[in-house]
Structure 1
Amino acid sequence: MKQFFNIILFFGLFNGIFFAQSLDLSRVSPKAKVIQQIGLSIIEINYSRPGVKGREIWGKLVPYNEGIPFPWRAGANENTTIEFSDDATINGKEIKAGIYGFHIIPRNDFWTLIFNKQNKSWGSFFYDSTFDALRIKVKPKENNFTEWLEYGFKDITPNSTSIYLKWEKLSIEFTVTFNEKEVILNNIRQQLLSLPGFGWEGPMDAAQFCLENNMNYDEALKWIDLSISRKPIFQNKIIKAGLLEKLSREVEAKKIEKDALENSTEEELNLFGYELLNKNKKNDALVIFKLNVERHPNSWNCFDSYAEALIKNDKKDEAIANYKKALELAPENQKDRIRNTINQIK
């Protein structure tokens, strides 16, 4: 009797173990994942794809039940999840970086999309609205028949995209937007904690990004001072002058700009002049190109660049005179271009 009892106990225990664990077999609704990079930011959607299979979906298989007893899981099997690598807005409403369980309450007129902080549940059976991070409403649209539930991305820009869901004959869309400049700035801060933070170039590039994008001047000034302390060159001095000007510290800005110009090379002045032209600072560019001509009277390139700046300042006659001087000094492979430019001006 004791032996019989032990056998029953043995099989009873293992029977519980066997039934407690299920095999991972092929699923009726297969898993899917879509990923999209927007600037430096990443959006990732993980879901399972149910098929229509001749069934009526909206209002039937997916009921219009006001989310009672629970909303639709926006897929099949486990939570559909949407991950944002950085803070974003969805249809203009803010959402923090993170992984969210995605649920939907569909209706005839509009659908409520739910981004919930719980993201490891099975479907929506354990959905708890107290963990909602964001709800938005969208209007469904008629769509070409789609057998398998599908998520995707469209209308991609450097800082935004529209996410769509389509299944059977309906689809919805919502727009995700990232603050691209803030994302890049935060990425820069992280990079400067690694190898780029040891040299002079990394802090200089970081400061230049801030200057060009009109942001974060105080921190940028610290970065450019660090760059200059490691290797003072024309470029980082000019960046510092620009930052000081943005901070309304004009006297300091002029002083460091003067120091940079006094110790500059022909190439540095030429590049700086074109940088000013690109910023539509035509008069300032003219001053720099003229300075370069005065310092390097035997350089055809200085006269050529100065003439180009004169054209942009509507000084046609002076431009022709300087192009002619450039033509006298230029190598043979540049003469035809300069002649053609002079003829076009005339």
Structure 2
Amino acid sequence: MLKISTFSLVLMSVMALFFSSSVFAQLTMPQPSPSAMVKQTVGLTDITIDYSSPAMRQREVWGGLVPYGEIWRTGANKATNITFSDEVSIKGTKIPAGTYALFTIPNEKEWTVIINKNSEQWGAGQYDEKEDVVRFMVTPMISPIIHERMMFTIEAMEDKQGEVSLWWSNTRISFVVDADPVATMISNIENTLEKANNIWYTYAQSAEYYMDNKQDTNKAMEWINKSISLKDHYYNNWIKARLMMTGNKTGGVSSNTQGAIDLAKKAMEMGEKENTNFYKRLKPEMEQFIKTYSQQLPKNVDTKKK
């Protein structure tokens, strides 16, 4: 029978401990191009960019580290990904909701920006032009400050547009993503109203959205009348007053002018009784509405008439 000395057993135990601990004691070091992410909601759409951020490290970036005229992953490591939670459009091209690779071809005077279907690429080695969703040109701009690390920003310019910018070294490129929420919102409204259980505020909000976004005014009037029948409130009366004047942006007289003024006055009387912060924010607009349209009425019309 094989005999193992006590010393051998101790040595084997020490060696086993050393090798096992070396496996689990790996040092975590800073990454040359750490991962980064930026996300911005534009209207109802989330735009997310997931990328790795390389640094200059005293190297010449454009035309050096990043060659001109060649496809670039627009970052480091895995190809940069851009995700849209809803359908958007860029330069007039509709892009379905989903995740895409964001490639660029830098040049001194003009860059090509590419949105590509294959979001699982490492670098640009598997890039296939046939999978491009859209290609468009942008003009590089001089950045007001030098950026040591490459970074992306997304600015929500308004409810319908977001500006995506890439910054690195002394250069910035930008493009606009159109994320018009109206179509999505219309679908949300109609689905919500089916389950609204006669909630007056939901009908009022829906009517106001349709009015503000130039949708079906007849449907909006139907909803605001439903809202008022459920609860007579300053908010829905104010919406109806404005809705009655839809399409009359110049302040001219129409057959609805007197009725709209009366409704606005009624809304103010009701609002003064509640005196909420919400009403206080609406009050200046109500006052201006009454003043504008009252001035356009014939002088023999009694604007105090109910």
2:269 aligned residue (251, 267, 270): 267
Q: What CA distance in whole angstroms lies between the structure 2 residues aligned with 1:168 and 1:41?
A: 30
Residue matched to 1:81: 81
Residue matched to 2:10: none
Q: What CA distance in whole angstroms lies between the structure 2 residues aligned with 1:56 and 1:205?
A: 55
Give the direction of change, closer, same or farther, for the CA distance of 1:125–1:233 in structure 2 (3 Å limit): same
Q: What CA distance in whole angstroms lies between the structure 1 residues aligned with 2:172 and 2:267?
A: 61
1:216 has 2:216 as partner:
yes
Give the direction of change, closer, same or farther, for the CA distance of 1:205–1:60 in structure 2 (3 Å limit): same
Q: After TM superposition, give the deviation of residue 207 of structure 1 in Å.
A: 0.8
2:60 aligned residue (48, 56, 60): 56
User: Contact between 2:88 and 2:177, CA under 8 Å: does it hold in 1?
Assistant: yes
State how 1:158-307 maps to structure 2 within 5 Å. Answer: 158-179=159-180, 181-182=182-183, 184-189=185-190, 191-192=192-193, 196=196, 198-224=198-224, 226-227=226-227, 230-231=230-231, 267-268=269-270, 275=286, 277-278=288-289, 280-283=292-295, 289-291=303-305
Amino acid at match of 1:135: R
Relative contact order: is structure 1 or structure 2 higher (C-alpha 8 Å, sep ≥ 6)?
2
Residue matched to 2:46: 42
**Structure 2: gaps spanning 5 or more residues:** 1-25, 248-254, 273-281
Q: After TM superposition, give the deviation of residue 133 of structure 1 in Å.
A: 1.7
User: Contact between 1:163 and 1:174, CA under 8 Å: does it hold in 2?
Assistant: yes
Q: What CA distance in whole angstroms lies between the structure 1 residues aligned with 2:285 and 2:158?
A: 29
Give the direction of change, closer, same or farther, for the CA distance of 1:131–1:221 in structure 2 (3 Å limit): farther
User: Contact between 1:46 and 1:81, CA under 8 Å: does it hold in 2?
Assistant: yes
Give the direction of change, closer, same or farther, for the CA distance of 1:47–1:272 in structure 2 (3 Å limit): closer
Q: After TM superposition, give the deviation of residue 92 of structure 1 in Å.
A: 5.4
- Please give the TM-score of this superposition, normalised by the length of structure 2: 0.64
Q: What CA distance in whole angstroms lies between the structure 2 residues aligned with 1:273 and 1:113?
A: 46
Residue matched to 1:320: none
Residue matched to 2:102: 102
Q: What CA distance in whole angstroms lies between the structure 1 residues aligned with 2:39 and 2:212?
A: 30
Give the direction of change, closer, same or farther, for the CA distance of 1:210–1:80 in structure 2 (3 Å limit): same
Q: After TM superposition, give the deviation of residue 30 of structure 1 in Å.
A: 0.7
Give the direction of change, closer, same or farther, for the CA distance of 1:72–1:273 in structure 2 (3 Å limit): closer
Give the direction of change, closer, same or farther, for the CA distance of 1:56–1:150 in structure 2 (3 Å limit): same
User: Contact between 1:199 and 1:230, CA under 8 Å: does it hold in 2?
Assistant: yes
Amino acid at match of 1:76: A
Q: After TM superposition, give the deviation of residue 202 of structure 1 in Å.
A: 0.3
Q: What CA distance in whole angstroms lies between the structure 1 residues aligned with 2:62 and 2:284?
A: 63
CA RMSD of aligned residues (A): 4.1
Q: Which has the higher helix share?
A: 1
User: Contact between 2:41 and 2:156, CA under 8 Å: does it hold in 1?
Assistant: no
| SS of residue in 1 equivalent to 2:104 | strand
Give the direction of change, closer, same or farther, for the CA distance of 1:220–1:174 in structure 2 (3 Å limit): same
Q: What CA distance in whole angstroms lies between the structure 1 residues aligned with 2:27 and 2:120?
A: 17
- Please give the TM-score of this superposition, normalised by the length of structure 1: 0.58
**Structure 1: gaps spanning 5 or more residues:** 1-22, 248-252, 293-346
Give the direction of change, closer, same or farther, for the CA distance of 1:265–1:206 in structure 2 (3 Å limit): closer
Aligned residues: 255
